[in-house]
Amino acid sequence: MPAGFRYPNREADLWSPSPMDAPFAQSRELTWFTAIGRLKPGVTLARARANLTNVQANLARQYAKTDSEIRPSIDPLKEATVGGTKKSLWILFGSVSLLLLIACTNIASAIAFTGHRAAP
């Protein structure tokens, strides 16, 4: 990943892959892993989802006891991190923009009003 990549925690100084031979990595009951990756050029999100669904279906047949209830998902990183607050962020953006517009209007009207005063 690029040097500016900070997910899910900006405080993390080190990312370490889980060794495939580690005991917790060998357990089929542990399903807390999250993977982050990039799609190959030319691969659509729909195609990647379909491929992952096929892989999981094969694993569910092979390991019915542990994998039959797992439902994998592929989501864009932006959607996964901001998705639930998207509407709130747009409302905040609109509110701040409106406040800025009001402030600029007040300043412009104050300048216009003071510039056209009649002399006493």
Task: Give 58-113 pLDDT, tens digit per residue.
Answer: 989 998 888 888 888 888 888 887 878 888 989 999 999 999 999 999 999 888 87
Amino acid type, 100: L
What is the structure's pLDDT at 111? Answer: 84
| pTM reported for the whole predicted model | 0.53
What value, to the nearest 5°, has the Cα angle with vertex 55 and ends 51 and 59?
165
Q: What is the rounded radius of gyration, in angstroms, for the C-alpha atoms of the chain?
A: 26
Q: How confident is the model at residue 53 (pLDDT cuts 50, 70, 90)?
A: very high
